[in-house]
Amino acid sequence: MNETTQNPQPAPTPQNAQGEPVLSVRDLEVAYRTGKDSRVRALRGVSFDLHPQSSLALVGESGSGKTTLGLALLRLLPTLGEITSGSVEFTGEDGRKRDVTAMTASQLRRWRWSEAAMVFQGAQNAFNPVLTIGQQMADTLKDHSPGRIGRREILERSAEALRSVRLEPRRVLSSYPHELSGGMKQRALIATGLLLRPRLLVLDEPTTALDILTQRTVIDLLAELREEYGFAMIFISHDLALAAELADRVVTMYAGKVIETGSTQDIFTAPKHPYTSKLINAVPPVTGDLPELASIPGAPPSLATLPPGCAFAPRCELATDECRQVEPELITLTERPKDMTHAAACIHHDQVHHERKVIARA
């Protein structure tokens, strides 16, 4: 687990993070086919905006829909998954708006990695084991560059990307993935994602398989790269410590829905959904007083057999009969500029009193 603080401060929002959103997602629904005539809804009515140079963290337990959302944004869902409704609108540097869900295969090929890229979970599995890092970076440049690109430019741009993540190009370009450490592979994967200077970078659990010191290096590196290149970032993680350090804004997901959203400051100091509060209380800080950690009872529901009403009700001590009958919608609690509005899908949001009990030291 990464280090965090009990009252984390949100990352500073760049002064020019204004204007049209880079990404505008509206009522996005994704389903997976589980049989000839059966489907499971993995995303249910997801909506959010991501502004230029800002950072959004998607948090929640495994199975909450975070990775499915990240894959859907770039139309990279597996064969059995499909977007059934909703829109994903991307705004480029030229101000042109495009609905990603309506793009053809050739349009997607030109758009991916040149304007929006994804860093997948597990660098060892993301790289082809029989090709060198240099060959794979070259393939990315050839396949997704808007025009023809020569060998010299490929080498120069690959080397520049590797240097930006503190790797020695001469060694890494000629290496196979298994010849690099976990941290080096992860940084090489980030460099590959940034080869064409995309406006949007989606990262799916980029530090999960790394030791804590290497995690620290990657976190610092991502913060520096974001400031240097000015890309907008979506960070998918079950680790709230990472969200506290890297995100301007946090979206909590549960059972395929957004159940709370707000600035990092609002979410970590005054969460208004019981699930978010419990997630925070399950994270041990490295500094400060030692709090009493509390696990969340029960398990997430099966998406194939969701309970009526609020999906979190079976695990929530605030649940009432109304919660078990009516599924709550996101309620705006506090208006904020630049889409930092604090909203929660809980009819008892005013009863969520977030606190962490400190363990008495001997």
CA–CA separation, 282 vs 238, rounded Å? 11
Q: What pLDDT is recorded for position 289? A: 65
pLDDT at 272 over 80: yes
Range in 25-39, 41-55, 314-328, 345-359 the model is least confident about: 345-359
Provide the pLDDT for residue 2: 41
Average pLDDT over residues 332-359: 83
Q: What CATH number belongs to 23-247?
A: 3.40.50.300
Q: Is the pLDDT of residue 3 over 60?
A: no
Q: What is the pLDDT of residues 40-66, one digit of tens each?
A: 999 999 999 999 999 999 999 999 999
The pLDDT of residue 16 is: 38
* Order of all β-strands in the sheet with 39-50: 39-50, 23-33, 81-91, 97-99
The pLDDT mean for the chain works out to: 88
| Model confidence pTM above 0.85 | yes
pLDDT of residue 124: 74
Whether residue 251 contacts residue 307, with contact meaning beta carbons closer than 8 Å, is answered with no
Nearest Cα residue to 49 out of 14, 90, 80: 90
What's the token pair of residue 342? 């604090």
Structure confidence at residue 337 (pLDDT): 72
pLDDT of residue 321: 96
Domain extent listing, the chain: 23-247, 258-351
Average pLDDT (134-158) is 92
Q: Which residue has the tokens 């970590």?
A: 268
Judged against a pLDDT cut of 70, whether residue 26 lies above it is answered with yes
Burial tier of 328 (Cβ tally within 10 Å: 0-12, 13-18, 19+): buried
How far is Cα 34 from Cα 321, in angstroms, rounded to an integer? Answer: 32
